[in-house]
A and B are shown apart, each in its own frame.
Chain A
Amino acid sequence: MVATAPALRALPSGRYRFSGALRSEWTKIRTVRSTAWCLLATVVAGIGIGILASASEASRWRNGGVIDKLLFDPTSVSLTGLIFGQLAMGVLGVLTMSAEYGSGSIRATLAAIPRRPVVLGAKAVVFGVVAFVVSEAVSFAAFFVGQAIMAGSAPTATLSDHDVLRAVIGGGLFLTLLGLFALGLATIIRHTAGSISTFVAILLILPLVDSAFPAKIGWPIGRYLPATIGSAMTSTTLQGAHADFLPSFPFWHGFALLCAYAVGALVIGGLLMVRRDP
C-alpha cells in the first residue's frame, strides 16, 4: 500500500529550496479560477475604460476650451482604465495570500515550508511576474487602442514621443507594484474581505476624502496616495489626471514611493507571519 519496506527510505541530501517554493506557488496560482477571472477583469477594465475615455475625448476635442487643449495628454487619456484594472489586480494580490488563510491550506503550506519568509517571497515573485507581464500587456494595449480611437479627431501620441514610452511602461509598473502592496496587505490582515476593503479604501476612497480638504492641506498628503502617483506616472505632463494644477511627484519619485509601499507591506506582513500562529 505504502511504497516503503520497514527500513525507511533515506532522505536525499540538501534541503528544500526556494526554487521548489516557486514551482509550488506557480502551480497554485495557475490552478484556481479566481486567477483567470481577476486577470480577465484587469484586461477588460484596463483596456475597456481606456476605450471609453479615448472615445469621449475624441468627440469633445473640437468643442474643447483652450486650456483643455493645452493640457491634453493623449497618453494619459488612453491609460485612464488602469486605475480600475488596478482593483482587479489588487484582488488577485490579496487572494494569492488570503485564500490560503481562508481555506486553511496555509497550514499545509507552512508544514511543507516552515520558513515563512520563503513562502511569502515565493508568492511575491510568482505573483509579481504574472502581474508584471499582464499589466504591461494591458498598458500597451490600452495605449495603442486609445490612440487609434482618437486618431483623426484629436492629437495622438506615439511611443517615440517625449516620455510616452516611460508613461506606458509606468502604467504596468503601477499595477504590478500596487498588486504586490495588496499581497502584503493580505499577509497582514489575513482575511479576504478585510484586505480587499482596505485596498479599495486606499486606492479609491482616500483620494475622495483628500479632495474634500482645501488644497493647502489636501495636496501635500494627496500626492503620496497611490492613485495620484499612478496618474502622474501614466502622464507625460507633471499634473496627470489629478487636477488643481498642483504638481505630483515626478515619475521616478512616484515609482520609488510605490516600491516602498509594496516592500513595506510585504516586510511587515513577513514579520507578522513569523511571529503569529497561522
Chain B
Amino acid sequence: MIEARGLTKRYGDTLAVDGLSFDVRPGLVTGFLGPNGSGKSTTMRMVMGLDRPDGGSVKVGGRRYHDLPWPLREVGGLLESKAVHPGRSAYNHLWALAQTNDIAAARVHELLEVVGLAAVARKRAGKFSLGMTQRLGIAAALLGDPGVLLFDEPINGLDPEGILWVRTLLKRLASEGRAVFVSSHLMSEMALTADHLVVIGRGKLIADQPVADFVAQSSRASVRVRTPKPDPLIAAMTEAGGRVHSEPDGALVVNGLAAAAIGDLAAGLGIALHELAPHAASLEEAFMELTHESVEFRAEDVGSTPAVAEGRP
C-alpha cells in the first residue's frame, strides 16, 4: 500500500510534482500515466525515499520509506534501467544488494533464473543489452520478495517476448496480493495490464479511477448510427442532447447519447436502424483528451486574460 498525500516537488521555479494525492492498493496493478516530463519518475523516487518532497508526504505500508526496517523486503523498485556499475557482474550486483537486507544468496540465484539471466550472471553488466539490464533491474526489485513494487517504464528496451513476460509478471505479482505501481507513457500498455489508473499531467492529478471508468467517462465515447431516414433522427437526437456528425459514407456519429437511448428514440419515431454500434474511447483517446485539457488549462493559467478565460465554454 502506497499513500501519497499532497506530494510536492519543486526544481527551481518549476513544480515537477504539485500536491499529488493517491493510493496504490494491494492486489491491483495501478498504472501511472502521464506524458513525458509530467513528474512520474520524480514521484516514484519520492516514494522510494530517494528524492525528498518539498511538501506533503508519502508512506509505504504506513511508514515513511526512511523508517522501513527492511526496505528491500517491503518495497521493490525498478527506477532506472541503468543503475548498475558497468564493471560488476549481474550476480555480484544482486548479491551486494541482498547482503544489505540479510537476503540469502539462494534467492539471488533463484531470481537470476526467473528473469532469464542465469547464463550471463557472471558477465559484466556493462556488456548487457538494454533488455538484459532491464531484466536485471526487475530481479533487483524482486530480491526481497516485497509486498509493494514500483516499476518505472518497465518495458523500455524489451523485445516483444520480454514485453509479454513483463505484462504477465505484473499481473501475477498483483494477483499474489502485492501493490504494483507501474508508470508508462504508453496508454496501450496500460490498457493491457492496469486495473486502476493514476493519471497526471504537469505534476497534477488528473484522474484516479478504475481503467473502465476512465474510458467510459471520456466524451470521445460515441455511437455509430446508420439509417435510411437520417434527418428526423438527427433532429430528435440533437433535441435529446446528443451531438451528431455525419460521416462521408452516410453514417452518423453521436456523442453524448447512449446506444439504448438512440434505439428508443428511433423506435418512437418508427425509423429503421441499419447500424447501432457503441464505440468506447480507447484509453489512448481518453488520455489525450484529459492531458490536452490539462495542458490548455495550464497555458491559459499562465497567460490568462479575463477575455480569453470568458471566451472558453
B80 and A107 contacting across the interface, CB-CB below 8 Å? yes
Q: Which residues of A contact B100 (CB under 8 A)?
A: 16, 20-21, 24, 109, 112-113
A11 and B172 contacting across the interface, CB-CB below 8 Å? no
Q: Which residues of B contact A60 (CB under 8 A)?
A: none
Could you tell me which residues of chain A, from 1 to 46, have a CB within 8 Å of some CB in chain B?
Answer: 1-9, 11-12, 14-17, 20-21, 23-25, 27-28, 31-34
Q: Which residues of A contact B51 (CB under 8 A)?
A: 277
| Interface: B88 (CB within 8 A) | yes
CA distance A148 to B86 in the complex (A): 43
B69 and A103 contacting across the interface, CB-CB below 8 Å? no
A104-B80, A105-B84 known; A8+B102 contact, CB < 8 A: no
A110 and B176 contacting across the interface, CB-CB below 8 Å? no
Which residue from A20, A25, A31 sits with its C-beta under 8 Å from B88? A31
Could you tell me which residues of chain B, from 65 to 89, have a CB within 8 Å of some CB in chain A?
Answer: 65-66, 68-75, 77, 79-80, 82-89
CA distance A100 to B80 in the complex (A): 13
B95 and A27 contacting across the interface, CB-CB below 8 Å? yes
B110 and A108 contacting across the interface, CB-CB below 8 Å? no
Which residue from A7, A23, A277 sits with its C-beta under 8 Å from B99? A23
| Interface: A218 (CB within 8 A) | no
| Interface: B285 (CB within 8 A) | no
A2 and B114 contacting across the interface, CB-CB below 8 Å? yes
- Which of B32-40, B139-147, B199-207 lines the interface with chain A? B139-147
Q: Which residue of A lies closest to B142 (CB)?
A: A2
| Interface: A238 (CB within 8 A) | no
Q: Which residues of A contact B191 (CB under 8 A)?
A: none
Q: Which residues of B contact A7 (CB under 8 A)?
A: 177
A103 and B85 contacting across the interface, CB-CB below 8 Å? yes
Q: Which residue of B lies closest to A113 (CB)?
A: B100
Q: Which residues of B contact A107 (CB under 8 A)?
A: 45, 48, 50, 79-80, 83
Q: Which residue of A lies closest to B168 (CB)?
A: A1
A20-B99, A24-B99, A107-B79 known; A14+B69 contact, CB < 8 A: yes
Q: Which residues of A contact B88 (CB under 8 A)?
A: 28, 31-32
CA distance A4 to B146 in the complex (A): 10
| Interface: B169 (CB within 8 A) | yes
A114 and B52 contacting across the interface, CB-CB below 8 Å? no
The interface bits of chain B over 298-313 (1 if a CB of A lies within 8 angstroms of the residue's CB, else 0) are 0000000000000000
Q: Which residues of B contact A110 (CB under 8 A)?
A: 49-50
CA distance A11 to B60 in the complex (A): 14
B101 and A16 contacting across the interface, CB-CB below 8 Å? yes
Q: Which residues of A contact B75 (CB under 8 A)?
A: 111
| Interface: B294 (CB within 8 A) | no
B85 and A114 contacting across the interface, CB-CB below 8 Å? no
A32 and B99 contacting across the interface, CB-CB below 8 Å? no
CA distance A8 to B177 in the complex (A): 7
B237 to chain A, nearest CB (A): 49
A31 and B176 contacting across the interface, CB-CB below 8 Å? no
| Interface: A250 (CB within 8 A) | no
| Interface: B96 (CB within 8 A) | yes
Q: Which residues of A contact B227 (CB under 8 A)?
A: none
CA distance A3 to B110 in the complex (A): 9
A12 and B70 contacting across the interface, CB-CB below 8 Å? yes
CA distance A27 to B89 in the complex (A): 11
| Interface: B173 (CB within 8 A) | yes
| Interface: A115 (CB within 8 A) | yes
A100 and B85 contacting across the interface, CB-CB below 8 Å? yes
| Interface: B196 (CB within 8 A) | no
B176 and A6 contacting across the interface, CB-CB below 8 Å? yes
Most buried by B among A8, A9, A12: A8
Q: Which residue of B lies closest to A28 (CB)?
A: B96
B69 and A16 contacting across the interface, CB-CB below 8 Å? yes
CA distance A105 to B140 in the complex (A): 11
A1 and B52 contacting across the interface, CB-CB below 8 Å? no
B118 to chain A, nearest CB (A): 14
| Interface: B218 (CB within 8 A) | no
Q: Which residues of A contact B48 (CB under 8 A)?
A: 107, 111
Which residue from A3, A17, A21, A114 sits with its C-beta under 8 Å from B145? A3
Which residue from A1, A33, A109, A277 sits with its C-beta under 8 Å from B114? A1
A3-B110, A6-B177, A100-B85 known; A277+B50 contact, CB < 8 A: yes
| Interface: B59 (CB within 8 A) | no
A41 to chain B, nearest CB (A): 16
| Interface: A278 (CB within 8 A) | yes
CA distance A163 to B23 in the complex (A): 67
21 A-B pairs (CB sep. < 8 Å): A1-B114, A2-B145, A2-B176, A16-B100, A16-B102, A21-B100, A24-B96, A31-B96, A32-B85, A103-B86, A105-B83, A105-B93, A108-B93, A110-B49, A111-B48, A111-B49, A111-B79, A112-B101, A115-B66, A277-B52, A278-B50
User: Besides A4-B176, A28-B88, A112-B97, 8 other CB < 8 A contacts?
Assistant: A16-B69, A16-B101, A20-B100, A28-B96, A32-B88, A108-B140, A112-B71, A114-B71
Q: Which residues of A contact B (CB under 8 A)?
A: 1-9, 11-12, 14-17, 20-21, 23-25, 27-28, 31-34, 99-100, 103-105, 107-115, 277-278
Q: Which residues of B contact A (CB under 8 A)?
A: 45, 48-52, 65-66, 68-75, 77, 79-80, 82-89, 92-93, 95-97, 99-102, 110, 114, 140, 142, 145, 147, 169, 172-173, 175-178
